[in-house]
Amino acid sequence: MAVDRMVLRQALSELVRLKTGTDNPTRFLSLLYGSALNEWAGELGVDRRKLDRLVDVRATGAGR
C-alpha cells in the first residue's frame, strides 16, 4: 500500500517533537507519544513498530 508522503512527513514531524520531549519522560508525555503513534500508524496504514523506527531515524537525523 502506498503512503501519502505529505501525510507521512506531517506524522513524522509531530511524532519527533513528541518523542524528543520524552527524552526526559513524564508519564503523560510517554502516553501522549504512544497514543499519537497508534493514531498515525492507523491513518497511514503502517505497522506501529516500523513507524516508531522511522521516528527514531528522523529524530537522530534532526539532531545532527
> How many domains would you assign to the chain?
1
**Higher-confidence residue: 21 or 42?**
42
Domain residues for the domain of 50 are 5-62
**Average pLDDT rounded to a whole number, residues 12-24:** 82
Distance CA 37, CA 47 (A): 10
Residue whose C-alpha is closest to residue 54's, from 24, 40, 32: 40
pLDDT for res 60: 86
Nearest to 62 by CA among 18, 6, 3: 18
Q: What is the pLDDT of residues 24-57, one digit of tens each?
A: 667 888 889 999 999 999 999 999 999 999 999 9
